[in-house]
Structures are given as C-alpha cells and as structure tokens.
Amino acid sequence: MERTLILVKPDGVGKHRVGSVLDRLERAGLRLLGVRMLKLPQTQAEEFYKDHKGKPFYEPLIRFMTAAPIVASVWEAPAAVSQARSLMGATDSLKADAGTLRRDFGTNNRYNLVHGSDSVTSAQREIPFFFKPEELFTYGDHDWNAERTEARGPSSRVIDKI
C-alpha cells in the first residue's frame, strides 16, 4: 500500500470543488486517511515549495497558495501516487486529458486545482508536513456498523490510529 498527499488549492476551494475532488478519489478506490482545511502561512508555504525557490514562478506560487484556504488530504491504495496523478491530469490544465480533475476544473498551469505527491518519496516528506501521525486513521469498511462490531467482540470497536 502506498500513501499520497493531495491538496485542493485555493482555486479549488474558491470554485467549490473540494467535494468533487474527494469524490473522484474515493470512487477510484483510494481510501481517505485524513483531511483538514487550513490557511497556509507564508513561512510554511515557503518551506513546502523550497525546491522551487529562485524559479520565476516561486513568488507568484507562494502568493497564490497563501491567498485563501486549502484542503489537505491523505489517501492510501496500491499505487496511490500514480493513481492519484492520473486522476489529476497534467500540471497545465489546458494540456490535461479530458476527464481529469485539472482539465475539468483547472484554468492553467498555476490555477490547476490540486497538488499531488509526485513520488512515494515525496509523499513521505509531504504528509508529515500537514498531518501528525495521530491525525491519520485506518479503518475497516464495516467499522461504522455497531451491530456487526459488537458481534465480533469489544476489541474490534477500536479504530487503529497510525
């Protein structure tokens, strides 16, 4: 199993597309482990995008990512990174394939709705940037069913924290 970080960027939040993003990821078979909404402070945005410092798009990117709230989420599935990136589409919304999140809801190369980890290594670095271990959860598909849970015994009622 792999994990990946998905951020719904300020344009996605402003366009009311958070639900669309989460829905597509769930319908594709990825399992949501954690989600939170936050306004990214400038220092945190600068740290997150430090690999791009000095590039012409760095300052506009920082202004954009700190302008309004974002929604951070962690997903798990076999090949989660490549599966999520396929759902997102090419970075430039105008060049993304039809049916991808960026093509359907993005505007261009910067206002492209979502960020997703580009590798397992990136995900391992990015996830702790937004989530503490106790904010991520594993759970069974039927843990919500109290009758079913009680039939299995009291130890099965606990949802494991990662």
Selected residue with higher pLDDT from 161 and 65? 65
Contact call for residues 75 and 3 (beta carbons, < 8 A): yes
Active site residue 115: yes
- Using the predicted structure, report yes or no on whether residue 154 has a pLDDT greater than 60: no
What is the predicted pLDDT for the residue at 147? 72
Query: Out of 16, 52, 115, 142, which one is annotated catalytic?
Result: 115
Contact call for residues 136 and 34 (beta carbons, < 8 A): yes
Average pLDDT of span 124-129 = 98
CA 66 to CA 42: how far, in whole Å?
Answer: 6
- Using the predicted structure, report yes or no on whether residue 44 has a pLDDT greater than 90: yes
> Residue 104 phi/psi, 5° resolution?
-70, -35
CA 6 to CA 134: how far, in whole Å?
Answer: 18
Q: Which two three-digit tokens encode residue 90? A: 């090419």
What is the predicted pLDDT for the residue at 144? 85
Mean pLDDT (the chain, rounded): 92
Selected residue with higher pLDDT from 41 and 144? 41
What is the predicted pLDDT for the residue at 149? 56
